[in-house]
């Protein structure tokens, strides 16, 4: 029996995306967003929802470029802080002791200490209400080389990414439970694949 929780923003999991931008005075700023994610395979795109009153909204609109830095478990508190205060009032890099590095490909900074970054140019926006959805085309993904596994993908057991679980805080991952595009083959009949 299912119980109604009402019209609420619940999907498990949500990513913890630290959005990096330069402001009008070229100061690096970051804010943490959990609304959005990858949204298109070709061209590779991600989307992130940002409120109009956010300092990052101004920067995204003016610079049309941003990065996403993904925190590891060790930086969960810093990522949380990045979502609690405004870059209008605080230098979030100075406050956390983290380093703003300039992207070589897009006009935006990222958090050097975070294990994985995604560099984007703004492709479009969609006004949805409280949040405007910013769609960025991904021009590169960069990861700490010590975290790369033998298969060329980041080793998530070493990387220790985190998730935002609405109403339930930040969570870590326990490991692989099934292989994608493979575990489901047990249900495929001869004429049904593809």
Q: How far is CA 124 from CA 36, 45, 59, 132, 170, in A?
A: 14, 11, 14, 10, 29
Compute the least distance from the CB of residue 160 to a copy of itself, in Å: 9
Q: Which is nearer to a copy of itself, 2 or 25 (CB)?
A: 2
Q: Which is nearer to a copy of itself, 62 or 184 (CB)?
A: 184
- Tell me the pairing of strands 65-70 and 28-33: unpaired
What's the rounded Cα separation, in Å, for the pair 3 and 41? 35
Compute the least distance from the CB of residue 23 to a copy of itself, in Å: 16
Cis peptide before 43 (omega within 30 of 0): yes
Compute the least distance from the CB of residue 50 to a copy of itself, in Å: 10
Q: Closest Cα to residue 65, out of 126, 137, 142?
A: 137
Q: Which is nearer to a copy of itself, 25 or 177 (CB)?
A: 177
Compute the least distance from the CB of residue 58 to a copy of itself, in Å: 18
**Sign of the dihedral through C-alpha 107, 79, 124, 88:** negative
**CB–CB of 13/164 below 8 Å?**
yes
**CB–CB of 145/189 below 8 Å?**
no
Q: Which is nearer to a copy of itself, 59 or 120 (CB)?
A: 120
Compute the least distance from the CB of residue 12 to a copy of itself, in Å: 4
Q: Which is nearer to a copy of itself, 24 or 186 (CB)?
A: 186
């Amino acid at each position: 029996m299912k119980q109604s929780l009402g019209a609420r923003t619940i999907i498990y999991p949500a990513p913890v995306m630290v959005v990096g931008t330069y402001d009008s005075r070229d100061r690096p700023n970051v804010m943490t967003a959990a609304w959005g994610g990858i949204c298109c395979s070709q061209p590779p795109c991600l989307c992130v929802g940002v409120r109009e009153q956010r300092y990052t909204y101004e920067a995204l609109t003016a610079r049309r470029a941003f990065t996403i830095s993904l925190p590891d478990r060790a930086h969960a508190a810093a990522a949380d802080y990045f979502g609690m205060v405004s870059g209008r009032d605080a230098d979030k890099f100075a406050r956390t002791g983290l380093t703003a590095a300039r992207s070589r490909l897009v006009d935006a900074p990222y958090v050097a200490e975070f294990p994985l970054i995604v560099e984007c140019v703004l492709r479009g926006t969609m006004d949805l209400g409280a949040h405007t959805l910013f769609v960025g085309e991904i021009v590169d993904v960069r990861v700490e080389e010590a975290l790369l596994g033998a298969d060329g993908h980041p080793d998530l057991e070493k990387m220790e990414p985190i998730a935002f679980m609405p109403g339930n805080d930040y969570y870590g991952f326990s490991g692989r439970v099934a292989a994608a595009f493979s575990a489901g083959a047990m249900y495929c009949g001869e004429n049904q694949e593809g």
